[in-house]
């Protein structure tokens, strides 16, 4: 589109940090420099020049988002998050005034609670995780207990006795925090998982390993 304004402007700059926190900080500061600001404080001017305020797009992965949030938090510069892991990282950092187009972890848990209400037979669940991001598992457990959902057991997907434990559990619903592709592969490789006559709810929370190019989803098996 032809730019009819006297001064060219950057509408959007999105860098790819490749999940590297230092690169994410460097690109964010380089962006501010590219649009004429050498320090984040220069973006926050008086009302007469409010149009000069800029918004930084947060990296997709939580680790890089944390780094950018820490670097820019003192300046109250608006930050936009487009992934759940990034939005959750900003929330946990206490960043205020940021924009998110993706749901927080609490929304995932609320959806699970609504599902359990629809099923109507139990508020007891088993939780299966991948033993990779304990912070997300811990946060998920904290929220789920706040919403009066009981947990029968928490078990890693690679536990050698997982099938027997889940089969003999009092919980009839299994909540998986394992990436959906990994979970599907496990089901294909180990047919014994199909013998577990219970409802699987897969909450595919993005991680630094599986977040690239993935949309967060809730799947049912």
Structural domain boundaries in the chain: 21-100, 105-220
Query: What predicted TM-score, i.e. pTM, was given to this entire model?
Result: 0.69
**Given a cut of 60, is residue 35 above it in pLDDT?**
no
Residue 84 makes CB contacts below 8 A (sequence gap 6+) with 102, 103, 104, 105, 108, 205, 206, 216
Band (pLDDT 50/70/90 cuts) for residue 86 is confident
* Pick from 19-33, 113-127, 141-155: least confident: 19-33
DSSP sequence for 161-189:
THHHHHHT-S-SEEEE-S-HHHHHHHHHH
pLDDT in tens, 139-195: 999 999 999 999 999 999 999 999 999 999 999 999 999 988 888 999 999 889 988
User: Architecture of 105-220 per CATH?
Assistant: 3-Layer(aba) Sandwich (3.40)
pLDDT of residue 3: 47
Residue 141 phi/psi, 5-degree rounding, is -65, -40
Q: Are 25 and 69 in contact (CB under 8 A)?
A: no
Is residue 37 classed as helix, strand or coil in its secondary structure?
coil
């Amino acid at each position: 589109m032809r730019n009819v304004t006297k001064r060219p402007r950057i509408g959007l700059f999105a860098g790819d940090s490749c999940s590297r926190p230092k690169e994410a900080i460097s690109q964010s500061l380089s962006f501010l420099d590219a649009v004429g600001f050498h320090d984040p404080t220069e973006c926050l001017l008086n009302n007469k020049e409010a149009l000069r305020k800029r918004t930084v797009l947060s990296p997709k992965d939580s680790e890089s988002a944390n780094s950018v949030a820490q670097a820019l938090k003192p300046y109250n510069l608006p930050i936009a998050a487009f992934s759940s892991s990034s939005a959750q990282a900003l929330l946990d950092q206490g960043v205020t005034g940021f924009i998110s187009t993706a749901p927080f972890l609490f929304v995932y848990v609320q959806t699970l609670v609504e599902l359990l209400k629809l099923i109507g037979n139990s508020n007891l669940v088993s939780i299966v995780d991948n033993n990779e991001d304990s912070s997300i598992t811990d946060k998920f457990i904290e929220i789920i207990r706040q919403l009066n959902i009981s947990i029968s057991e928490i078990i890693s997907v690679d536990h050698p006795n997982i099938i027997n434990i889940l089969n003999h559990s009092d919980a009839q619903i299994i909540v998986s925090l394992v990436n959906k592709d990994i979970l599907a592969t496990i089901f294909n490789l180990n047919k014994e998982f199909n013998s577990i006559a219970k409802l699987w709810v897969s909450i595919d929370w993005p991680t630094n390993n599986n977040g690239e190019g993935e949309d967060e989803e809730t799947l049912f098996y």
